[in-house]
Each structure stands twice: as structure tokens, then as C-alpha cells.
């Protein structure tokens, strides 16, 4: 199958903003190739080996890539992308490149940028083809994100996982809205949740999430469905997770409040910091109590409770 690869070459400090634009334009996922991230992983000891020379790391530009299937209205999306980038006033201005690519070629190309990650106290996220010596000490999430968003390296996903490690104690009913690769649904199940519904509107994400659920052996606990937000959720949850974007969280808030049990929790992430105050105000007006706020780079996540 042929996909259109859309690459935005940008300064490293604008990577998160460019990623957010892709998400808001309805792209199922992004791949980030940022030498600054690689440097941080190497210096911190997170990566014990890598596939780049020092010259490559010094000279490489940060690139945010998205992959569009043939049926997408690519011309309109590219025009919107160009306009949104202009509105950011980034210097130097990001450059956009496009090319057709086979799915198999893409699946191999991004693997050099995906290594095991230790997140919080309990989780280890790793590609299925890599082994780790101390995996038995943590909850291991084997993940092949494919063309879906979410492999643990993005700040919004990491903050959700850090909240999850304290919220899941065993037996919870969970709904993961906008599941992407399925990472948060799988993490909840492996941490002890009794049932998890993982929902995404994007067909690619649904198929990727189903494969990752099977890969992690949690098919008995995790059901993946295609749907719009909470429209397909018929139960009452102990925990609802939404790692999406600010506008969608605002839209979701009333339904999330109604779908939660008393004493339940709502994790809202994927919020750019410039919109955090607006989102928090809506969540509190809906009835949620803010229990914790996390910040990583340009992103904010909220842990909210329902009394």
C-alpha cells in the first residue's frame, strides 16, 4: 500500500507545536526524528546503543513526519498545514516535503528512533524486537506503534503513564479515548484493570491497537473499538483517559463526567500549555476537581476526580 509521507523540517524547539498541528488536522500519528532527543537519551543513559554517527547527530535537522492514506484529501490538508505553520511565526520557517512511500519501507525506517524507555516507577516501554535485562522488574509494554500515535516517548503519553501507575490498583473499569497505538489501554490492563475499552476514530489506529493488544497478551481485558469519543461506551468507568488535544477534551468533558462512577478519575492530556487555563476552567465548571497537574515541555496533563 502506498502512503503519502509529509515531512516538516523544523527547529527542535518547535517539534511539539508541529506535532500538535498534525494531530489537530486529523492525522492518525506522527513520527519524530529529533537529534536533540537522541542526545538527551544518550547522555542520560536511556540508550545504551544507537545507529547514528556523531556527525549525523550534529548535522541532522528535527523532522516531524505524518503518513496519509490515498483516500485523504491531501491538497486541502497541505494547504491548512502551510497556513498553520505560518501562524506559528517560527524562525527559520519550517520546510514541508512530500513523497510516496511503501508501508513496508516506512515500517523499517522509523525503527532506528525507537528504543526502550523507562517511564515512572513501574513501566518499561520497548519495541517488540528488543530485549532488556531488567524487564522483569517493571511492567513491560511491548509496542509497535506502526502509523498510530503513541509509543511512550511523547511527553503527553509519559504523563498519562505516570498517573496510571498510582491509579490502577486492581479491578478497575477503564476507557481510553483516542487510544492511538493502544499503549495506555495496555498499560492499564497490565497494571491490573479488569476491563478496558480502547476507542479511536482513526481506522489505522484501531488496527494497530488491536495488534498491540494481542502482542501484549491482554486481549481478555482490552477491547478495541472504532468510535467517536465516548459514543460507543455504555458502562460506568472508574477511570477515563483522554490523551488528545485541548478542543476535544473540552468537547468530551461533560460526557466523561457522566460516564465516571462517583470517586472515579479522569486523566486529560495532550493539552498545549497556552490552552491549559481554558481547559482547566471548563473541566472545573463541568464538576471535576483538579487533583494534580503535570507539565513537560510545552504540554500539560490533568488528573481530575469526580466526587
Q: Which domains does the chain have, with CATH numbers?
A: 2-112 (3.30.70.120), 147-305 (3.40.50.150)
* pLDDT attached to residue 181: 87
Q: pLDDT digit string (tens) for 154-183? A: 788 999 999 999 999 999 999 999 998 899
Look at the alpha carbons of 232, 238, 241, 247 in this order and tell me if their dihedral is positive or negative: positive
% of the chain exceeding 70 in pLDDT: 81
C-alpha span between 121 and 127 (Å, rounded): 19
| pLDDT of amino acid 39 | 53
Burial of residue 171, with CB atoms counted within 10 A of its CB: 0-12 exposed, 13-18 middle, 19 or more buried: exposed
Q: What local confidence, expressed as pLDDT, does residue 49 receive?
A: 44
pLDDT tens figures, 13-72:
788 788 888 878 877 667 777 766 555 555 555 444 445 455 544 545 788 888 887 766
Residue 79 pLDDT exceeds 80: yes
Please give the share of the chain, as a percent, with pLDDT higher than 90: 49
Contact criterion met (CB below 8 Å) for 21 and 84: yes
Amino acid at each position: 500500500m502506498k502512503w503519502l509521507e509529509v515531512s516538516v523540517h523544523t527547529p527542535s524547539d518547535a517539534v511539539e507545536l508541529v506535532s500538535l498541528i498534525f494531530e489537530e488536522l486529523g492525522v492518525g500519528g506522527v513520527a519524530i526524528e529529533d537529534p536533540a532527543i537522541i542526545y538527551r537519551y544518550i547522555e542520560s543513559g536511556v540508550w545504551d546503543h544507537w545507529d547514528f554517527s556523531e556527525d549525523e547527530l550534529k548535522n541532522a535537522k528535527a523532522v516531524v513526519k505524518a503518513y496519509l492514506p490515498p483516500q485523504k484529501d491531501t491538497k486541502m490538508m497541505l494547504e491548512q498545514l502551510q497556513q498553520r505553520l505560518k501562524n506559528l511565526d517560527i524562525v527559520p520557517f519550517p520546510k514541508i516535503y512530500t513523497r510516496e512511500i511503501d508501508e513496508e519501507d516506512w515500517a523499517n525506517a522509523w525503527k532506528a528512533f525507537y528504543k526502550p524507555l523507562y517511564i515512572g516507577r513501574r513501566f518499561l516501554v520497548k519495541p517488540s524486537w528488543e530485549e532488556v535485562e531488567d524487564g522483569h522488574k517493571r511492567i513491560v509494554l511491548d509496542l509497535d506503534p506502526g502509523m498510530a500515535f503513541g509509543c511512550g516517548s511523547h511527553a503527553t503519553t509519559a504523563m498519562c503513564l505516570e498517573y496510571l501507575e498510582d491509579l490502577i490498583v486492581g479491578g478497575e473499569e477503564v476507557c481510553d479515548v483516542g487510544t492511538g497505538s493502544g499503549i495506555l489501554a495496555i498499560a492499564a490492563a497490565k497494571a491490573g484493570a479488569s476491563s478496558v475499552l480502547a476507542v479511536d476514530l482513526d481506522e489505522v489506529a484501531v488496527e494497530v491497537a488491536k495488534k498491540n493488544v494481542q502482542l501484549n497478551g491482554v486481549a481478555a481485558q482490552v477491547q478495541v473499538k472504532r468510535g467517536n469519543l465516548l459514543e460507543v461506551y455504555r458502562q460506568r468507568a472508574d477511570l477515563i483517559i483522554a490523551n488528545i488535544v485541548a478542543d476535544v477534551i473540552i468537547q468530551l468533558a461533560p460526557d466523561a463526567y457522566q460516564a465516571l462512577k462517583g470517586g472515579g478519575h479522569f486523566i486529560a492530556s495532550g493539552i498545549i500549555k497556552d490552552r491549559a487555563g481554558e481547559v482547566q476552567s471548563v473541566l472545573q465548571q463541568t464538576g471535576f476537581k483538579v487533583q494534580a497537574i503535570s507539565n513537560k515541555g510545552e504540554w500539560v496533563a490533568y488528573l481530575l476526580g469526580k466526587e
